Amino acid sequence: MAQIIDGKKISTQIKDECRERTAALAAQGITVTLAVIQVGSDPASSVYVRNKKRACEYCGIRSLSYELPETVSEEELLNLIRELNSRADVNGILVQLPLPKHISEDRVTEAIDPGKDVDGFHPMSVGALSIGKPGFVSCTPQGVIELLKRSGISIRRKECVVVGRSNIVGKPMAMLLLRENGTVTVTHSATVNLKEVTRRADILVVAIGKPGFITGDDLKEGAVVIDVGINRGADGKLCGDVDFESARKVASWITPVPGGVGPMTIAMLMSNCVKSVEMKR
Ligand code: NDP
């Protein structure tokens, strides 16, 4: 039976470390500040934004909140980002996605100063990751690497398979596993005979958004299984992309949903905020 990777516990460790880092900066008169922009009042976005602000408070990070109406123009939003880019007291800028249809997410992402891009979505951040230069990395895949490392799971020389190739999870995940010297295969909806590929994985990361898609039958005996998916099952409960009950019988380590990768995303965001100050210094 697989051991559970406890994302709640590990994310708390990381937030406690952030608290120590912000305290050390505060002793030098430096406050870490994150600007959080939300457009409209989508309930899911409001929950994410509230959780991020709460985490900031826990970690000793000042958060500035900008709640813009659904009807705000792209130019007004870009102007706010430009203003925050130029403010020396703002270290990180986060625009909660998705944005209303009349606003280009690409233009908004590209407007953020790469030095304040704590979400790691700016093309400069993505480019830096792919050529092995320092920069911000998308929080969820970075959180997966922390889960593995802090559970004592080595990536070096391992056969790693990523299911899903989105810009915020699958692709940066593959880059990070590669950086850690894993041998990486990325799969997607056009992959032929997916099961054959997933069964080769020593480390399998699944991020597709399909409840229970990967089962124990798709795994190699003793695989490490990281489930990034967050879905609502038929019973209305939160569930991952992996069928936990069948997978845990075959895997050596597995992340639950909820309580696995989910809490790591915000913890890594907090870490990126502190890093934005540390990098400059
Ligand atoms: P996207 O919808 O952007 O991407 C899904 C990916 O899965 C695509 O690359 C798609 O392939 C691939 N895919 C879809 N169906 C299949 C299939 N049958 N076989 C193989 N690949 C398939 O999703 P995200 O990456 O944004 O999110 C994935 C999941 O992770 C969601 O459940 C989301 O809620 C969750 N998530 C969790 C986070 C956290 O904090 N824990 C953060 C971000 C996301 P193709 O490219 O060919 O279409």
- The model's pLDDT over 6-51, given as tens digits with 9 standing for 90+, comes to 999 999 999 999 999 999 999 999 999 999 999 999 999 999 999 9
Residues labelled catalytic: 52, 96, 119
By the 8 A CB rule, do 21 and 60 touch?
Answer: no
Place of tokens 């934005």: 276
> Which residues make Cβ contacts (< 8 Å) with residue 141, sequence separation at least 6?
169, 172, 173, 175, 176
Residue 219: both structure tokens together: 């795994």
Ligand 1 geometric centre to CA of 148 (Å): 20
Is the CB–ligand 1 distance for residue 190 below 6 Å? yes
- The model's pLDDT over 46-66, given as tens digits with 9 standing for 90+, comes to 999 999 999 999 999 999 999
Q: Please give the Cα distance from 142 to 172 (Å, whole number).
A: 8
- The model's pLDDT over 167-222, given as tens digits with 9 standing for 90+, comes to 999 999 999 999 999 999 999 999 999 999 999 999 999 999 999 999 999 999 99
Closest C-alpha residue for ligand 1 atom 4 = 166
Pocket test for ligand 1, best of 96, 171, 228, 232 (most atoms within 8 A of CB): 228
Ligand 1 geometric centre to CA of 279 (Å): 31
DSSP-based three-state secondary structure for 154: coil
Pocket test for ligand 1, best of 10, 169, 195, 218 (most atoms within 8 A of CB): 169
Closest C-alpha residue for ligand 1 atom 36 = 229
Closest C-alpha residue for ligand 1 atom 3 = 166
- The model's pLDDT over 231-265, given as tens digits with 9 standing for 90+, comes to 998 899 999 999 999 999 999 999 999 999 999 99
Burial class of 106 by CB neighbour count within 10 A (0 to 12, 13 to 18, 19+): exposed
Q: Answer left, alpha or beta for residue 164, where phi above 0 means left and psi between -120 and 50 means alpha.
A: left
Q: Please give the Cα distance from 140 to 162 (Å, whole number).
A: 13
- The model's pLDDT over 103-119, given as tens digits with 9 standing for 90+, comes to 999 999 999 999 999 99
Atom of ligand 1 nearest to the CA of 210: 32
